[in-house]
Amino acid sequence: MTTIIIIPRFVFENGRPCCWRRWWSRSNHFSLHPRTFRRRLFRLPSLWSGACSSPTSTSTTGTTTNNQQFRHFTETSTTSSTTRACPPTPPSANVVIVGGGIIGTSVAYHLGKLGIKNVILLERDKLTSGTTWHAAGLINTFGSLSVTSTSMRMYTKNLYSTILPEETSMDTGFYPVGFIELACDGHRLEYYRRVAALNRYCGVKVDEISPKEVRDKFPLIETSGVLKGFYVKDDGRANPYEVTMALAKGAKLYGVDIYENISVREVSKSNSLGLCSMSGKAIKDCIPRVTGVILENGDEIEANIVVNCTGMWARQFGERCGVHIPNQAAEHYYLITDAMEEVDPSWPVVEDSSRCVYIRPEGGGLMLGLFERMGAPWCVKEIPETFSFGEIEPDWDRMGPYLQEAMERVPVTLNVGAKKFFCGPESFTPDGAPIVGETPELKNYYVAAGLNSIGILTGGGIGNLLASWIAAKRSPSDFDVTGINVDRFQPYQCNPKYRADRVGEILGETYRVHYPDHYLSTCRNIKKSPLHTKMANQNAYFRDVSGWESPAWFAAPHAKPRIDKHHFGRQNFFPNWENEHRACRENVALFDMSFMSKFLVSGDDAGRFLNYLSTANVDGDKGRITYTQWLNHDGYVEADLTISKLDDNEFLVVATDTMHNHVLTHMKRHLTNQMHVFVHDVTNAYAQINLQGPNSRRLLQCVTSFNIDNDNFPFRAVTELDIGYAKSICTRITYVGELGYELFVPAEFAHHVYDTIINLKHAGLKALGSLRLEKGYRDYGHDVDNTDTPLEAGLGFTCDFKKDGGFIGMESILTQKNWAKENGGLCKRMAQVLLCDSSPLLHSGEVLWRNGERIGEIRSASYGHTLGGAVGLCMLQSSEPITKDKAFIEKGEWIIERGTDFIPCDVSFESFYDPSNYKVKM
């Protein structure tokens, strides 16, 4: 009789260990799903309780076990000359980095390389002991539609393959075995072709290969269902431990001191800047600044700068000093098989997102890593401080089906044993992008965390970026950081329920096809406009807008607002979107824009303060609204916004939703208690109703006694007017290129005002996007970012070089302006793009060609229903100056690369729609 004993990783059959799945597949139980089979066997309490006492596992409560024998899958020593015992910690330092994983050591290395002195790194245990030690180490430059992410991946690969070995004489374990992404359905094939086009523009050498070529490079792969592979020959894998040790050694060579077994309890801070030389009174910042760190033993190290690189502990460490960092740990799994003679360690890494798996050789066998479609949070309340080199007990019931699906891609794995089915924590963020930069709550407190399981892949780039940020005391101008800046988040996103509900979906997004109209479904209906129920009654299809529920488009009466099926073509709502767009162009439409960030700035110094921040003169006559930019001292754009002067000492500042904290923090960082300025966030206090279209004046005049004809209320005018029983702030401004008005209505009057003016077409954000892109209006964080100056973005008209006091960044802009004059143009210039064929769509990320050479990528795109084709904005980039005349356009043959399609297009430096602005000012 066969005796069977079940333990978490193996089945023992007749006293010999074998993979549970192999045993199941050849037993008389194959009528049962393996998950069901294991569940039934695990009902035997005596066997299960014994299995849980495995000496190499860590429970989900965070009990730490010594997994050093498994670390990095090789026989690697746990000590290193680069991290030998250091003398007692110093009493002070310039920069203190907290956390010694891949990110902390990368930041330390890059700070040292930049020549920043007196930098120390403090690690509570041993280097790599958090999540770095168990990372899979994939190095694939292919796969992202983000230029920032792709650039960081490319830099990281070069760092691991060339720079670190040359500088430190240490092996990083980087093997350029290649990388293949499988496209196993039509949607993935289209998506990866789009990705490939942008990645080639960034410098990634990616080839599209056949299923046979995939099989030739990885003979054990089952290629049934595979349409194509996307192959990067010199991608591969690295050893996370060895990379970290090389970074640590490099940091020490550049003068950084690294201390292990030193735990930091909290960060100390102060508001004081010293005494005023005239009054003798204390000068205080609006935002406190770092003064040092306090260790677990009570010792304090004074410091000018603290960098939080504590990985999955970043949130709880940040909370101790009032900083919000909403990352959350989730379970991450991979299986390592027994050795197989046929496995060649030089085979490439293979990803099959349709089966949620990556596959690579490991230890003579194969590693199958999983990113399931809905992940599981781990230790939401708190990550145990003592969790080091630890594991989580695998959830076999949940992961069994994913394993089955993954192993079918490499069928031989169904017939071999398993060395390890590993589960360990990885931290993820609410939007799947890393958290980087200086925190809005505390000056000189920087963070690099929440790497969403690509910390090894982007670790070099993240460290390089943040080190440059710290050294320059402002975000670098060579990376777009608008999508990764820590200040994009809101405090409520740190709430336990939010993190628990969101993190599983974000993990699942790793291998999901990123359709243009796909929105996250968790943590919804938590922030609603005062007009939400009114919009719902109009059949709105809501999307997430920085946590707000906002209409994307409106379904027909009695129809259910839904997307029938996601794809890259014209969706079922395309006619609805077109009707909303045309209603605004030809008649009038109502937009609920209540999600916009709104700040009331007042005080005796308010005008002078805002004028110094702004490129335009915003402190002129009261009753005027001004479109302006805010810059840093190097002249790069920090914000794009409007400022209305309501009274002599009162201003309304309005910015996009994604820049809420960024704009607020920008003001706070330039304020001290010596200024008579008060900033109030009034976003939630006002509903914002936009009436836009050629008949908007006629409509609004019917509901107010205030004369709004063109002579009395011209373009850019601001006033308070009556609508029914309510008073509203009204600005005559547009974001769609038509006559229009923006009404800021006290929230308690929103329903009344809406009911008073309701008889008109409603429009959503899809229409807003197509309307503004036909006009060529910019959107900061999408088509303009921190790598652009106003001159490059076509916004030089906002710069008033003659106003009293100038503005931040003015000298840099004047220098660039003079350079352009001397050289005949700028090397970067934003242009509008319109496809000549009316059928294809653009979704952003497409590549623009001029005369056979790539010249830029489409940053924002939509469909121009009035212009009759897809439209977008592109930042042209050239090694030679780009003249702002028709000759440069007319001498070019312009083509858009969209996947494998090459589509002729028109390009213009001025707006395709109403370039004279007649409709706006009528």
Tell me the pLDDT tens digit for each residue of 501-521. 999 999 999 999 999 999 999
CB atoms closer than 10 angstroms to residue 252: 21
Cα 480 from Cα 781, distance rounded (Å): 8
What is residue 275's predicted lDDT score, i.e. its pLDDT? 53
pLDDT at position 40 over 70:
no
Is 253 in contact with 81 (CB distance < 8 Å)? no
Band of pLDDT at residue 591, cut at 50, 70 and 90: very high
- Kindly report, residue by residue over 108-136, the tens digit of the pLDDT: 999 999 999 999 999 999 999 999 999 99
- Kindly report, residue by residue over 212-224, the tens digit of the pLDDT: 999 999 999 999 9
pLDDT at position 69 over 50:
no
pLDDT at position 77 over 70:
no
Angle between helical axes of 240-253 and 102-113 (0-180°, round to 10): 30
**Average pLDDT of the residues in 363-373:** 97
Nearest to 763 by CA among 537, 591, 557, 536: 591
pLDDT at position 476 over 50:
yes
What is residue 46's predicted lDDT score, i.e. its pLDDT? 24
pLDDT at position 377 over 60:
yes
pLDDT at position 138 over 80:
yes
Integer angstrom CA distances of residue 362 from 73, 134, 335, 369, 393: 8, 13, 10, 11, 21
- Kindly report, residue by residue over 154-163, the tens digit of the pLDDT: 999 999 999 9
Nearest to 455 by CA among 28, 850, 105: 105
pLDDT at position 792 over 70:
yes
What is residue 97's predicted lDDT score, i.e. its pLDDT? 98
pLDDT at position 52 over 50:
no
pTM for the structure as a whole: 0.91
pLDDT at position 174 over 80:
yes
Q: Return the higher-pLDDT residue of 245 and 48.
A: 245
How confident is the prediction for the chain on average, in pLDDT?
A: 91
In the 3-class helix/strand/coil scheme, how is 441-459 assigned residue by residue?
Answer: CCECEEEEECCCCCHHHHH
Cα 294 from Cα 281, distance rounded (Å): 29
Pairing outcome for strands 435-438 and 869-882: unpaired
pLDDT at position 465 over 60:
yes
- Kindly report, residue by residue over 638-661, the tens digit of the pLDDT: 999 999 999 999 999 999 999 999
Report H helices in 330-388.
Answer: none
Q: Return the higher-pLDDT residue of 672 and 4.
A: 672
Lowest mean pLDDT among 10-19, 230-239, 363-372, 515-524: 10-19
Band of pLDDT at residue 60, cut at 50, 70 and 90: very low
Percentage of the chain lying above the pLDDT 70 cut:
89
**Average pLDDT of the residues in 783-790:** 98
Report H helices in 473-537.
Answer: 496-509, 532-537
Band of pLDDT at residue 82, cut at 50, 70 and 90: very low
What is residue 221's predicted lDDT score, i.e. its pLDDT? 98
For the sheet with 10-13, list strands across it: 4-6, 10-13, 16-19
What is residue 358's predicted lDDT score, i.e. its pLDDT? 98
CB atoms closer than 10 angstroms to residue 203: 10
Percentage of the chain lying above the pLDDT 90 cut:
88
pLDDT at position 35 over 60:
no
Nearest to 859 by CA among 914, 918, 782, 778: 782
